[in-house]
A and B are shown apart, each in its own frame.
Chain A
């Protein structure tokens, strides 16, 4: 036994010459785990076991404390009544769910539109031909304005402003107007994400592509964009998690989506449980997306490290 004391992490230098070994280690033969390594692994296992039990105990204590703190608060019976009413939950849930389908629809239509707008704006900002100067200036103005204005304001302005123009063919459907507003607002963010991705591709890649005779456009299309898009997938998904919940902002101009349905029920009964129902639905949608984003981010991290 080389480490009879074994005081913690077994990172002592190699075993002394007289350490008992299964096999001589010279000459790359079959590996027989040394006594030192076995002891090291024993210690490591013991340490891991200890840290996981500490984590479990502290989590339980924390949750018990939290529950006790909430339920012991003086207002708890009231809160329980108005937010956690099972009967109300059952009554409101079908309507809220029906409304939530509209949220999903808005999200599914807005998302591809946002990707197109964002990519186009980002590409326009990379054009340096003089002819395209006005386009480039417009793209800069667009991102500056729509990143600066709160999404809810954009929804008001589009929802009430566009129909007021009374233009021929202007959609008057509130959900459609909501999609337009979300696309305008998120398009600006997504354009910046794409632009960051494009800028992150090393100039030497462009030099290599140009030296092969590829034009500026071909270089962007075949060399820069494929790399840029791959890099921005995690931040894009992050924006989409945020978009999923921001579909609820469209409620402010009136279409019957989940939040609006919950508001209607809550206004009838003065009970807020429908809001909880709608919150649960949003969480059920965003959590898987968030985990997927984490997974992709971790994967690209691993790849870069490799």
Chain B
């Protein structure tokens, strides 16, 4: 870590006028084997805000989410959670992840545990919630998302859509400050996408702060407060969905949206 050079001054003045920013990403760079995956990303997410990251595969959406969750270390730049720098080398990553929920494209449920076991693991072992209490809360969440009868089932007995809903509940069970969703519908049978999107819409209604990497333009248009278009590791354009989807300023955004819509209509 060479430390934030030119961002240092700007960052300190920014934190004042964005007191309620849950997440601030400032000039974040990330390399993989000499290939720049993220090239100076700046992004701010306010409380109760839903931000959708769109862009082609390999544009850096997933990497950005993984950096925010400290599953990857940034090569430069600063990420702040509730104003505190989490990219500081002295930060305890476990402490950061306690406050951030993450849902993965391939669900990543623990196959050796039941649905209930998956959901209550982190509350019990990380947050010290008593088993009975954790299970009660888990059952409430399951009931809310129509999975009450699956509490005792093992993940391999569930459909993809059900597994992903359980994965979202698992991330919610720790009451995270921020929820990261990494292409959560990309691995799903088209017929099962709807049930997962419904859960995300419900979360939006409850005011959850979320960052989604997604290929579902319909979802982004529906629920995003802000849509960010990533291209080759650069955040090329951001704005409210109405603007991005109807009058994108960047030719590359236009080109990307045209191709996506073409693929859909075929």
Give the bracket for the number of chain A residues in contact with chain B: 10 to 19
B174 to chain A, nearest CB (A): 7
On chain B, the number of residues with a Cβ less than 8 Å from chain A's Cβ atoms is: 27
Find residues 189-223 in chain A having any chain B CB closer than 8 Å to their own CB. 204-205, 207-215, 218, 222-223
B141 to chain A, nearest CB (A): 15
Bound CA span A211–B118, Å: 13
Bound CA span A212–B100, Å: 8
Is A222 touching B121 in the complex (CB atoms < 8 A)? yes
Report if A288 contacts B (CB, 8 A). Answer: no
A213 to chain B, nearest CB (A): 4
Which one of B95, B97, B112 lies within 8 Å of A211 (CB-CB)?
Answer: B97
Which one of A204, A211, A222, A226 lies within 8 Å of B125 (CB-CB)?
Answer: A222
Report if B104 contacts A (CB, 8 A). Answer: yes
Bound CA span A210–B122, Å: 10
Which one of B71, B101, B156, B171 lies within 8 Å of A210 (CB-CB)?
Answer: B71
User: With contacts A205-B110, A218-B126, A226-B112 known, is A210 near B104, CB below 8 A?
Assistant: no
Contacts of A204 in B (CB 8 A): 104, 106, 108
Is B112 touching A213 in the complex (CB atoms < 8 A)? no
Contacts of B122 in A (CB 8 A): 212-214
Is A214 touching B121 in the complex (CB atoms < 8 A)? yes
Contacts of A306 in B (CB 8 A): 156
Report if B140 contacts A (CB, 8 A). Answer: no
Contacts of B254 in A (CB 8 A): none
Of A209, A210, A212, A227, which is in contact with the most chain B CB atoms at under 10 Å from its CB? A212
Is A215 touching B94 in the complex (CB atoms < 8 A)? yes
Report if A50 contacts B (CB, 8 A). Answer: no
Is B71 touching A213 in the complex (CB atoms < 8 A)? no
Please, which residue of chain B has its CB at the minimum distance from the CB of A208?
B108
Contacts of B223 in A (CB 8 A): none
B115 to chain A, nearest CB (A): 14
Bound CA span A227–B98, Å: 24
Q: Which residues of B contact A (CB under 8 A)?
A: 69, 71, 93-95, 97-98, 100-102, 104, 106, 108-113, 121-122, 125-127, 156, 170-171, 174
Bound CA span A226–B112, Å: 6
User: With contacts A207-B71, A222-B125 known, is A213 near B97, CB below 8 A?
Assistant: yes
Is B125 touching A214 in the complex (CB atoms < 8 A)? yes
Please, which residue of chain B has its CB at the minimum distance from the CB of A225?
B112
List 17 interface pairs A-B (beta carbons < 8 Å), by A numbering. A204-B104, A204-B106, A204-B108, A205-B110, A207-B108, A208-B110, A211-B69, A212-B170, A213-B97, A213-B127, A214-B121, A218-B126, A223-B112, A223-B121, A226-B112, A227-B110, A306-B156
Bound CA span A212–B171, Å: 7
Please, which residue of chain A has its CB at the minimum distance from the CB of B95?
A213
B264 to chain A, nearest CB (A): 28
Bound CA span A213–B112, Å: 19
Report if A230 contacts B (CB, 8 A). Answer: yes
Which one of A212, A223, A226 lies within 8 Å of B174 (CB-CB)?
Answer: A212
